[in-house]
């Protein structure tokens, strides 16, 4: 072991739903505010993001930068209906969807504490448009790997391998934290340790088993 007996040298965090509050809460607020039929959104999300969905769906293309946010907005809006059966305004859909997403200060505090203990901290996120507070992220995390900027996406091994290359660390010395089980499984398949995030206290407890001194 290195670093005073700790089992890992770096912790890499997902952004939305890990360093922020739950994405589902922002989505729920958007559905209510815009009067969108939740079933139409759930149906579309399942078709585009389910484990059985082939690569090449609009979400996958958005995440790898092949599809612009503006084009994605139009495609998503075309699949949705309002509760009274009307069309959904395609302009700025993603902006409205993420409008209520807020940083989870407990998670940012956890990342800062890890860094003070000598553990490197990074971000690895599948992008759904430019929702990132880059100045804040760049000040605390290194590397910051955003899927659309590198043309790769979770849960595929290549984006985890790229992150490891930027850390200059072996997979076994890195733990990845994500709120989506497929991404956690993808990280483990690539050799990383991984924690399925539910909330700040449980993630802190899981990391404390790997990093002595993390209270």
Q: 77 with 133, same domain?
A: no
Per-residue pLDDT at 187: 98
| Domain termination residue (choose one: 63, 78, 97) | 97
> Do 84 and 143 sit in the same domain of this protein?
no
Contacts of 128 (CB under 8 A, 6+ apart): 16, 59, 62, 63, 69, 72, 94, 97, 98
**Does 84 lie in the same domain as 37?**
yes
Structural domain includes residue 71:
yes
What is the Cα–Cα distance from 209 to 177, expressed in whole angstroms? 14
120 and 45 in one domain?
Answer: no
Q: What is the pLDDT of residues 156-211, one digit of tens each?
A: 999 999 999 999 999 999 999 999 999 999 999 999 999 999 999 999 999 999 99
Q: SS3 for 88? A: coil
Q: How many CB atoms lie within 10 A of CB 185?
A: 15
3 pLDDT band, cuts 50/70/90, is low
CATH of the domain at 130: 3.40.50.1000
Dihedral (Cα; 4, 8, 14, 20), 10-degree rounding: -30
Same domain, 177 and 91: no
pLDDT digits (tens, 9 = 90+) for 84-139: 999 999 999 999 999 999 999 999 999 999 999 999 999 999 999 888 999 999 99
Domain boundary among 53, 80, 97: 97
Chain Cα centroid distance, residue 117: 24
The residue segments making up the domain with residue 122 are 10-21+103-208
Indicate whether 69 and 129 sit together in one domain.
Answer: no
Single residue among 97, 116, 150 that ends a domain in this structure: 97
**Residues contacting residue 74 through CB under 8 Å, at least 6 positions apart:** 90
Q: pLDDT grade, residue 83 (50/70/90)? A: very high
Residue 120 belongs to some domain of the structure = yes
pLDDT of residue 1 exceeding 60: no
Residue 81 CA to residue 23 CA, distance in Å, equals 21
In a domain, 5, yes or no: no
Answer whether residue 63 shows pLDDT above 70: yes
Going by C-beta distance under 8 Å and a sequence separation of 6 or more, which residues neighbour residue 144?
122, 123, 132, 134, 137, 138
What's the structural domain count of the chain? 2
- Does residue 51 sit in the same domain as residue 122? no
Q: Kind of pairing, strands 120-125 and 144-146?
A: parallel
């Amino acid at each position: 072991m290195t670093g005073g007996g700790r089992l890992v040298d770096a912790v890499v965090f997902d952004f939305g739903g890990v360093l922020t509050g739950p994405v589902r809460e922002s989505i729920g607020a958007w559905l209510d505010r815009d009067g969108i039929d939740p079933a139409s959104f759930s149906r579309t999300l399942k078709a585009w993001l389910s484990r059985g969905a082939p690569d090449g769906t609009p979400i996958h293309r958005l995440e790898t930068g092949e599809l612009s946010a503006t084009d994605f907005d139009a495609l998503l809006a075309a699949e949705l209906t309002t509760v009274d059966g009307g069309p959904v305004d395609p302009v700025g859909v993603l902006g409205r969807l993420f409008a209520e997403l807020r940083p989870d200060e407990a998670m940012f505090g956890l990342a800062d504490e890890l860094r003070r203990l000598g553990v490197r901290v990074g971000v690895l996120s599948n992008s759904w448009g430019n929702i990132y507070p880059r100045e804040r992220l760049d000040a605390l995390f290194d590397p910051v790997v955003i899927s659309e900027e590198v043309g790769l996406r979770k849960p595929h091994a290549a984006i985890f391998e790229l992150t490891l290359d930027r850390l200059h660390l072996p997979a076994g010395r890195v733990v990845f934290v994500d709120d989506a089980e497929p991404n956690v499984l993808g990280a483990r398949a690539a050799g990383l340790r991984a924690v399925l995030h539910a909330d700040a206290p449980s993630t802190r407890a899981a990391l404390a088993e790997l990093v002595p001194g993390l209270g």
